[in-house]
Chain A
Amino acid sequence: MDIFQFEFMRRAFIAGMLLAVIIPCIGLVVVLRRLSMIGDALSHSSLAGVAAGLLMGWDPVIGAIAAAVLAALGMEGIRKRFPRHAELSVAVVMSAGVGLAGTLSGFVGGAANFNSFLFGSIVAISDLEMVLVLGVSAVVILAVLLLYKELFFVSFDERAARLAGVPVGFVNFVFVILTALTVSIAARTVGALIVSSMMVLPVACGMQLGRSYRSTLLYSILFALGFTAAGLFLSYYNRGLRAGATIVLVGVASLVGVFVFKGLWGRIRGTRHG
């Protein structure tokens, strides 16, 4: 396979595979807690950081990370101030992020670099960005392993988790920061407009097959790895295809396929037992 003879494709696969592991780890909790809008809010906020980074001469991924983390902290702050209207925090932060991104992008010379964050540019990852992907992936994987049962319990029943002694506030705070880190890094690869889809699609597929929380998480990761590999292969051998968008379309097709397969399998089993 000549695809792996190129350094940029090897980097793309390493980064893609790492993200395919950490995105479902975050995505499963996001989906179960019905927080999908948070992914959108943070990815849009990260765009503002990208624009600010480009204007200030920093690496835009660092700008994206800083903006996403600030947005996450802002959401937590608003949620604590207005606990009865927690959903407002997401709307406010998303509005601020989109507004800032739109405003700052007008001052960015060379729109191509900014636009590459909209739909991703996994094949153009710099050395620094690769280090950041490795670092963020290590942090997210370690945190998810350490807080595995805490995240499960808080997702299933936050009140019971608190009564059992789970430090719910701390877990929620750490989770929002992990989400911010993941979203900002993924914005570079699959694109800020597509990140929330990547959080949801593998999990949606995994939930069709998993019979427990653990197996659902494992299936979600496997699906994400498959989408990413397929998307990278397809985009490499069809030069007109963007990797990020192709990965997502593979995900959508896979989800449809899983539904069809489950339906057919259910009918076959029904016929056998009928």
Chain B
Amino acid sequence: MDPIIQVEDLTFGYTGELFLRDVAFAVMPGEFVGIIGANGTGKSTLLKLLLGELEPQRGSIRLWGQAAHHFRDWPRIGYVPQSSAATAAGFPASALEVVTANLYASVGPMRLPGKQHRQAALQALAAVGLEDCARSRIGELSGGQLQRVMLARALVAKPRALLLDEPASGVDSASADGMYLLLQRLNGEGITVVMVTHDLSRAAGFLGRALCLEHGTMVELDREQMAHELEHRHKHP
């Protein structure tokens, strides 16, 4: 089976100083992987590299065998951004409109979505438990609900993999656990999940393995190693 994401000898820096050095990992279909790191360790930069927005100085990033910078089949990857309640508060859009927007590829350029597209969007909202909020203005939703709307937006295009940026950021503990359980369910249905987060302690119970960024390099932890790492942190805060 070929990997969905293959990163080899990835080296990158914004100016002269290198930010990421010789990072290498692969994500296989069906995995639930976390990219873990504290603030400033390069998680967002790695995310931009994976999304083809930046080119590495050295090394390669391949998505389904294609170089990320030339990859065009992005609807295969459902991208869930770190939601910002502050940004959403002022934007006059309903949850249904936000989700339907991601059906661009199926609607086609310079056309308006039809009834079947709105139906697909409603189904995506139902999959995340928000069918009753379809007509709600996104600024009126809680942080957890807004994050689920972003997830529904990604799911509506029927991606084969999800790439999430801090999905539990800015939400309460119950909502964060609810989001992770939802992702675990989607993973069980065959969707590969790659989640960028700074919070290993909360996410560890859901991940198959963790890719930890520290000082520009990456260390891979399986479940046993994650448990050991958390125990070590607990004893030596």
Contact = CB atoms under 8 A, between A and B. Distances in A.
B64 interface: no
Nearest to B113: A149
Residue of B51, B90, B96, B110 with most chain A CB atoms under a 10 A cut-off: B110
B152 to A, nearest CB: 13
Interface in A87-136: none
A206 B137 CA distance: 14
A165 B74 contact: yes
B97 A213 contact: yes
A148 interface: yes
B104 to A, nearest CB: 4
A212 B94 contact: yes
Interface in B97-135: 97-98, 101-102, 104-105, 107, 109-113, 135
A27 to B, nearest CB: 13
Contact of A149 (B77, B107, B136): B107
Nearest to B100: A149
The contact size tier of chain B is: 20 to 34
A147 B110 contact: yes
A164 B102 contact: yes
A196 B198 CA distance: 42
A84 B74 CA distance: 24
A214 interface: yes
B12 interface: no
B93 A213 contact: yes
Interface in A183-231: 206-207, 210-216
Nearest to A210: B92
Chain A residues touching B, range: 20 to 34
Contact of B104 (A156, A159, A164): A164
A148 B101 contact: no
A216 B136 CA distance: 13
A152 B79 contact: no
B75 interface: yes
A153 interface: yes
Interface string B151-195: 001000100000000000000000000000000000000000000
Given A157-B81, A160-B81, A164-B75, A216 B101 contact: no
A163 B74 contact: yes
Contact of A164 (B74, B113, B137): B74
A190 to B, nearest CB: 24
Contacts of B104: 149-150, 153, 161, 164-166
A11 to B, nearest CB: 32
Interface string B64-76: 0000000000110
Nearest to A155: B91
A169 interface: no
B122 to A, nearest CB: 14
Nearest to B107: A149
Contacts of B97: 152, 212-214
Given A211-B92, A212-B94, A213-B92, 9 more contacts: A32-B91, A150-B109, A160-B79, A163-B74, A163-B75, A207-B90, A211-B135, A211-B137, A212-B93
30 contacts: A32-B91, A146-B110, A149-B101, A149-B104, A150-B104, A150-B109, A153-B101, A153-B102, A155-B91, A156-B91, A156-B93, A156-B98, A159-B51, A159-B79, A159-B81, A160-B79, A160-B81, A160-B102, A160-B153, A161-B101, A164-B75, A166-B104, A211-B92, A212-B94, A212-B96, A212-B97, A212-B137, A213-B93, A213-B97, A214-B97
Interface of A: 32, 146-150, 152-153, 155-157, 159-167, 206-207, 210-216
